[in-house]
Amino acid sequence: MKLNRNFNLLLAGQSLANTGDILYIVSVIYAIFELTGSATAAAFVPFTITGAMFVSNTLTPLLMQRFNLKWLLAVSQFGKTGLLIILALLLPLLSMSNYTLLFAVLALIALLDGCANPVTRSLIPAYVDNSLLLKANSITESVTQGIQTAMWFIGSSLLIWLAADDLLWLTAGLFLLSSLLLSLLEPVHLQPAKEQGRWQQITKGWQTVSSTPVLKRLAWMDVLETIAGTVWIAATLYVFVSDALLVNEKWWGFINGSFFLGLIGGSLLCLRFAASIEKNLGTFIFAGAFLSSAVTLLFGMNNVPLLALALSFLVGIFGQLKNIPQQTVIQTSVPREALPTVFTTLGAIGTGTFGVASLLMGVLADAFGIRTVFMIAGLLLAAASLIAFKGRIFFWKTAQE
């Protein structure tokens, strides 16, 4: 059974947007580092983006109560197109005295991103039958991770031939095409509860998550997995390659690439064996978390670069074998009209946790050594797998409903 036109439009539009996201981040980080010579200033780009997305995830429910989801998504991409044009015009004018203006524009772009992400996840079950959700999620993840893997390399390579502001003009064009495709989607009319105050609208998703057993368990798993996942950010992994494996920066790129290839491999496995996984969602969520824990612990203890490549690949595979079924459980655990606020809540939890945890893991790595943080990450994933094991009956019930 084939997926429908709306899903294909959504996938194509978001793929263009994801491509643009990486290209503009590459160009901005390059421009700031070239201007300031400061790695700290360059690192402040993802920090700004994460902080703004947390604010957006918190406030997005106010918009979802008022606007059609299809147009909320399309308009957010049109808005990013306009902001990227401003960014392209601003970049050649940057100097040491005014480069902080760049971060204001980045924050605005991230605010729109924080709105677009939960809306996209909410639209998938609106356009796809429950029987095809796992397949749809697997295709979406395969394409997204493929873009992630390729575009970081392509984006940095394009800077050999293009200036950073030229790359931003290309990115603006991609977002314009994305906006046009998303505007062709069929409208999705949800029926939110009426006569709610703003505070009730903002907190509705939090109330849904806290009162739904399966979502509460998944939220706690998300917190633990997000903290553990900070060991795979570029800065931490670079320290591990340098201090633990004692090899040069080329291996940093190899291990990063191996991890993303593992994510693609896990997505393709979910797509290939979708029917079997759908019948055993709880088992795959538990097994994925447990195996991710074991492989992360082995990675932290390992001294052999080639084995590190293999372990990094396995972390990506096992992570996706858990994440995709987990996403499917979320999409089928509450009525469709509640999904947007649920995803904004989970997004806020994720971005807020990531921002704090990435700083905390850096402090722990400096204080106790880089291997220690991988041991901590492995134990956190083990705790997440225990939650999954105890809650597998909830995942099974959700799959049957």
Average pLDDT, 10 consecutive residues per value, the chain (401 residues):
76 91 81 68 71 79 74 88 90 72 87 82 82 83 81 72 85 93 82 58 75 86 89 73 80 79 88 84 89 94 92 92 86 77 82 78 81 93 90 58 50
Using alpha carbons only, what angle is made at residue 253 by residues 251 and 256, rounded to the nearest 5 degrees? 105
Query: 117: closest CA among 354, 343, 330?
Result: 343
Residue 192 main-chain phi, psi, to 5 deg: -70, 160
Question: pLDDT value at position 374?
Answer: 92
Which domain covers residue 95, as residue numbers? 1-190
Between CA 182 and CA 6 the distance in angstroms is 9
- Residue 170 shares a structural domain with residue 249: no
Neighbours of 366 (CB within 10 A): 11
Question: pLDDT value at position 181?
Answer: 93
Work out how many domains the chain is built from and give that number.
2
Question: pLDDT value at position 201?
Answer: 62
Question: pLDDT value at position 288?
Answer: 92
Which are the contacts of 148, defined by CB distance < 8 A and separation ≥ 6? 18, 22, 260, 263
- Residue 78 shares a structural domain with residue 165: yes
Question: Which of these three, 190, 211, 235, is where a domain ends?
Answer: 190
pTM of the model: 0.72
Question: Which of these three, 161, 190, 219, is where a domain ends?
Answer: 190
Question: pLDDT value at position 394?
Answer: 63
Q: What is the CATH number of the domain that holds 312?
A: 1.20.1250.20
Between CA 125 and CA 318 the distance in angstroms is 24
Between CA 256 and CA 254 the distance in angstroms is 5
Between CA 259 and CA 327 the distance in angstroms is 20
Q: Which helix (H) or strand (E) element contains residue 298?
A: helix 281-301
Question: Which of these three, 141, 160, 190, is where a domain ends?
Answer: 190
- Residue 212 shares a structural domain with residue 71: no
- Residue 127 shares a structural domain with residue 265: no
- CA 354 to chain CA mean position, Å: 11
- Residue 388 shares a structural domain with residue 338: yes
